[in-house]
Every structure is written in C-alpha cells, then in structure tokens.
Amino acid sequence: MIFASDNWAGASDRVIAAVAEAARKGGPAYGGDPLTRAVEARFSEVFEREAAVFFVATGTAANALALSVFARPGAFVFAHREAHVIADEPGSTELFGGGLRLVGLGGAAGRITAEGFAAALGTEPNPHFGEPVAVSLSEITEIGTAYRPDMVAAIAALARARGLGVHMD
C-alpha cells in the first residue's frame, strides 16, 4: 500500500472486496442499512459512547465536513500551523464551513501544547479577532510524531472548559 495520500493511493484488495460485497447486498439509503448500523455499533464500542458514522470518499472531505459542524460567522478553529488541515486542506474547510478560518499555533514536533493552546485562548475573548469554536489535532503529524493521550486530554480539557469542540484528524 501507498500511504502518501488517501486521494491517489488506491485501496487494498480486501477493501475493494468489502466494498463490492456491501454494494451487492444493497439496503436502505442514508445510514439505514445494516452495514452502517454495524459500523456505528463498533465505533460506539471502541469509543465507549454512542457514535454516528458518516461515510465520505476522502480524508479531506471527512475533515472539512467535520470541522464545518462548528462553523458560524466569525468563527475559527485552532490547529498546529503545520497540521494537515492547514498545510493541505484549508480551502475545503473554508468552503464547507462558510468561511470558517483555521488559525495556526506553534509547537515543537508538529504538536501544539496545552500551555500554548491556553496562551492562544487568553483570558478574555477578543471581539476583533473572531470567536474560537474548536481545536483540531493531528493524530499523526505531518512529520510523523503523535500526541500522547495525556497531551490530548489536557488540550481537550481546556477546550471543553471554554465550550469549544475537539476534532481529531
């Protein structure tokens, strides 16, 4: 397999066979089919909470649509300045998010820190800059590093304390 991009790498024979089998079975549209229900049940089990699953064609579509959930006028999402959503997908987020901006933060090894995120949030909202609505984290950064669970938990706690969403790419 080629892992450079989900847009041009192709799919493995097992994936193609599974898609073909699902297509042969058919079923109700818009998530009412047994496959979608089975996938949602598995995701709910893994994440230990009820989960909804929406199948899309690419990772870019998944990120842009997921981030657009947070969109409202003047809103923005924090992410590392080298995050995939900023480096490779910003136009799609702005398109599906109705102008939703992505604001890059610094941090070593392609990761923002809880301290850096807290500093970016500040103590008071700035009406001249817009309103933060979420933070996006890259599970694996563009340079191959990963967030440790404690890092994600600390950033997510800060986000939730401010009523912000948390997105994992």
What is the percent of the chain where pLDDT is above 90?
A: 67
To 10 degrees, the CA torsion angle through 53, 95, 137, 157?
-80
> Is pLDDT of 1 > 60?
no
The DSSP string of 39-81 is HHHHHHHHHTS-------S-HHHHHHHHHHTT--TTEEEEEET
* Mean pLDDT, the chain, integer: 90
What kind of fold does domain 59-168 have according to CATH?
Answer: Aspartate Aminotransferase; domain 2 (3.40.640)
Dist. CA 42–CA 34, nearest whole Å? 12
Residue 38's H or E segment, with its range, is: helix 34-47
Residue 132's H or E segment, with its range, is: strand 131-137
Binned at pLDDT 50, 70 and 90, residue 39 comes out as very high
Strand partners, 75: 131
> pTM value?
0.84
Of residues 61, 124, 59, the one with CA closest to residue 96: 61
Average pLDDT over residues 33-53: 92
Dist. CA 38–CA 99, nearest whole Å? 35
> Is pLDDT of 9 > 80?
no
Dist. CA 133–CA 139, nearest whole Å? 19
> Is pLDDT of 3 > 70?
no
Average pLDDT over residues 11-39: 88
Q: Residue 140: what pLDDT?
A: 92
Average pLDDT over residues 115-134: 87
Average pLDDT over residues 21-43: 88
Domain positions in the chain: 1-55, 59-168
